[in-house]
Every structure is written in structure tokens, then in C-alpha cells.
Structure 1
Amino acid sequence: MRRSQSKRIDPDVGILAGRVLFSFQRELFTALAAQGHDRLRPRHGAVLAHLDREGSRATDLSALSGQHKQVIGTLVDELAELGYVERRPDPKDRRAKLIVPTERGLDQMAKADALVTEIEQRYAEKVGAEEWAAFKHAFRKITES
């Protein structure tokens, strides 16, 4: 059997993870666009998915997302221009800045949270609640190590 046929029949975990990610992002960002957030792109998720409502440091966003700090800086610039975040001095360290969601950012975060819950519920219905919980547990263990 040729390698390409084998990959179609039994794709490796990288291919499967990519398929899940791209499908999930497409559904999430299409729904967000329909709810008034049409200028966001999946790349913005590296910031928005990890942003605390009270604000986060760029270094923390970088560590949580796995993106370089320079990439996070570029994404924060884009999101600030779009009106989703702003930079504020960190009250715990005057040298540092916090990335803080604006009202528009908070609206997006609330809508995204609800959409993610809906998507995950559909996934759980598709494979069963126990299997879904086991999948998330295994995925978490792999990604946290």
C-alpha cells in the first residue's frame, strides 16, 4: 500500500489533531462572524482563548498559547486596532503591561465561551459523554507534559 493511501486509511495523531482544530476553528469563527465579530481570524485565538478578563501579560499569553512573544505582540496590536483589547500598566509591576479585554473583547469572549460549549456538547453527543470525557482527559495529559 502506498504511504498516501495508508495515511488516508489510518491518519496519524498530527493529521487527526489538525482536522479537529481546523474544523473547530472554522465553526467557531464562522459563528462569531455571524454574531458581529467578523474581523477576527483563527490566529487571534492565540490571545483571546487565553486572555483573563482582568488582563494578562504577553509573556503568559505566549507560554499558554505556545506562540513566540513577538507573535503575541503582533496579535495584540491587531486586536487593539480592532477594538478587542488594550494595554494597561500592570498594577503589580509598573514596568509590565497587561493586555485587557475591552467591552467588545468581553462580548466576544462570552459569545465564544457559549459557542465552545455548544460545539463540545455536539462532539460529546457524537461519541458519547464517557468517551468524550476520556478523550479530553487524554488530550490534556498529552498537551500538559
Structure 2
Amino acid sequence: MNRAERKQANPDLGVMAGQVLFSLQKELFGALAEQGHPALRPRHGAVMAYLDEAGSRATDLAQQSGQHKQVIGTLVDELVELGYVRREPDPRDRRAKLVVPTDLGLDQMVKSDAIVADIERRHAEAVGEEAYAAFKRVFRRVADRQRRGLP
């Protein structure tokens, strides 16, 4: 059995996480396009998935998404141009800026949450509510350990 066949038969964590991510992104962004958001791309999720309705600092978005601040800055520039967010002074620190969703951004956030909730509901129905809840608990623990660099 060659490496590709082994990965197919017994995929490792990275392969499975990638398969889930790419499949979920394809469904999510396809549905968003059908619901009035055709310009968004999966890369925009590094901002939109973590953006607070009241606004977020770019540094917080970078930390939460695991992306470099420069990448987040580029994505925010794109989202400003597309009309999903705007930059405003942070009322707690006038030197800092907040990335704030526009009405279009808020609409996308609501629709995205509903689409992902539907995807999760379907998985829970397919494998059972308890099994899916246990999977999410374990996956969250694994993701947290990986993010923190624990052995």
C-alpha cells in the first residue's frame, strides 16, 4: 500500500481536519453566495468568523484566527472595499481602530451562523446527538492543545 492509499484508508488528524474544513467552507460559501453574498471567499472567514457585532481589534482577530496581523489587515482592506466592515476609532483607546461590521456584514454573520448551525444539526442527526456532542468536546480539547503547542 503506498502513502496515498494509507492516507485514504487511515487519514491522520491533519488530513481529516482539512477535509472537514474545506468541505464546510465549500458548502458555507456556496450557500452564502445563493443568499446574497457572492463576493465573499473562504479566506474572509479569518475575519468574519471571529468578528464581534460591536467591533473587534485587528490584533484580537489575528490572535483568535491564528493568522498574522498583516494577513488580517489585508483581509480587512478587502472587506472594507466589499462593504462588509468599516474601521472606526476604538472608544477605549483612540489610537486603536475597531473593525466594525456594516449592515451587509451583520446580514452575512446571521446567515453564516444559520448555515453552520444547519450543517451541525445534520451531522448530529446522522451520528446521534450524544455522539456529536462528545465529538465536539473531544475535538475542542484537541484543537486547544494543538493551538497551545502542548505535547
TM-score when normalising by structure 2 = 0.94
**Counterpart Cα distance in 1 of 2:90 and 2:55:** 9
Q: Equivalent residue for 1:2?
A: 2
Instruction: Give the aligned CA root-mean-square deviation in angstroms.
Output: 0.7
Deviation at 1:7, TM superposition (A): 1.1
Q: For residue 87 of structure 1, give the secondary structure of its aligned residue in structure 2.
A: strand
CA-to-partner distance for each residue in 1:47-82, whole Å, 9 max, x for gaps?
000000000000000000000000000000000000
Q: Equivalent residue for 2:32?
A: 32
Deviation at 1:125, TM superposition (A): 1.1
Question: What percent of counterpart residues are identical?
Answer: 66
The one-letter amino acid paired with 1:114 is: A
**Counterpart Cα distance in 1 of 2:4 and 2:32:** 35
Q: Equivalent residue for 2:133?
A: 133
User: Paired residues, what number?
Assistant: 145
Q: Equivalent residue for 1:73?
A: 73
Q: Which runs of 5+ in 1 are unaligned?
A: none
Deviation at 1:112, TM superposition (A): 0.5
The one-letter amino acid paired with 1:6 is: R
The one-letter amino acid paired with 2:14 is: G
Q: Which runs of 5+ in 2 are unaligned?
A: 146-151
**Counterpart Cα distance in 1 of 2:14 and 2:46:** 19
CA-to-partner distance for each residue in 1:19-67, whole Å, 9 max, x for gaps?
0001100000000000000000000000000000000000000000000
Q: Equivalent residue for 1:83?
A: 83
CA-to-partner distance for each residue in 1:75-124, whole Å, 9 max, x for gaps?
00000000000000000001100000000000000111111110100111
TM-score when normalising by structure 1 = 0.98
Q: For residue 55 of structure 2, give the secondary structure of its aligned residue in structure 1.
A: coil
The one-letter amino acid paired with 1:39 is: A
**Counterpart Cα distance in 1 of 2:71 and 2:107:** 24
The one-letter amino acid paired with 1:68 is: H
Q: For residue 131 of structure 2, give the secondary structure of its aligned residue in structure 1.
A: helix
- In the TM superposition, what are the counterparts of 1:18-57 in structure 2 within 5 Å? 18-57=18-57
Q: For residue 89 of structure 2, give the secondary structure of its aligned residue in structure 1.
A: strand
Q: Equivalent residue for 2:148?
A: none
Deviation at 1:6, TM superposition (A): 1.1
Deviation at 1:139, TM superposition (A): 1.3
